[in-house]
Amino acid sequence: MQDLYNIVVLISGKGTNLQALIDASHRSSYTISAVISNKAKAIGLNRAKISGIDTYVIEQESFNSKLEFEESLATRISEINPKLIVLAGFMKVLSPQFVKLFRGKVINIHPSLLPEYPGLNTHQRVLEDKKKIHGVSVHLVTEDLDGGPVIAQDAVYVRPDDTVESLAKRVLEREHIIYPKVVESLAIGKIQLSDYDI
């Protein structure tokens, strides 16, 4: 039997990227073993439950320190033993220790054309800077915030009448296409994450 390419998806909120990954999984070579949220109220948890995917809530507030939170997160992930850890709107910066533990196995989607605009409020900053092109990046997670090697990108034009909301919507539409494609490409070995020195 072929080895199943199982992934764990980490979320914090709406989970529209998770939904795109769920929808595409039915015609793909990967399966979602579990969804973990660091927010109990994350809407994305319902998306997973509706699809019969195991869900776990691990909130930092339940622990005395970030270290203990990450230890619990790491233990849960290790039990699930995924081939890939997919951050999809997971709004928590992971420590270098955590990243090292899962070296080369964690990917993230970020709403900008990295290395431009790491961090938060990317759409607003792009508008303020009067940029003409914006977009989305999928990258390997390293200890540098939004700084790991880029795996794939897609660009959108910024329109003169764009608002944060309209721009975010167009970028998100591209996110929903590119993220399942990248995960599928990893699942079938079309893209390989080399043992990147993080």
Report the residue number, 16 or 25, with the smaller CB distance to ligand GAR: 16
The Cα 51–Cα 96 span in angstroms is: 33
Closest separation in Å from C-beta 184 to ligand GAR: 17
137 binds ligand GAR per the rule CB under 6 A: no
Running DSSP on this structure, what letter comes out for residue 118?
Answer: -
Closest separation in Å from C-beta 122 to ligand GAR: 7
Report the residue number, 19 or 30, with the smaller CB distance to ligand GAR: 19
The Cα 11–Cα 59 span in angstroms is: 11
Residue type, 190: K
Residue type, 87: L
Residue nearest to ligand GAR (CB): 89
109 binds ligand GAR per the rule CB under 6 A: yes
Report the residue number, 80 or 164, with the smaller CB distance to ligand GAR: 164
Report the residue number, 15 or 104, with the smaller CB distance to ligand GAR: 15
15 binds ligand GAR per the rule CB under 6 A: yes
Assess whether 123 carries a catalytic annotation: no
Closest separation in Å from C-beta 17 to ligand GAR: 3
Binds ligand GAR (CB under 6 A): choice among 13, 82, 104, 180: 13
Most distant pair of Cα atoms in the chain: their distance: 54
> Is 70 exposed, middle or buried (CB count within 10 Å of its CB: 0-12, 13-18, 19+)?
buried
Half-sphere exposure of 89 (CA within 13 A, CB side): 21
Binds ligand GAR (CB under 6 A): choice among 47, 105, 110, 170: 110
Half-sphere exposure of 195 (CA within 13 A, CB side): 0
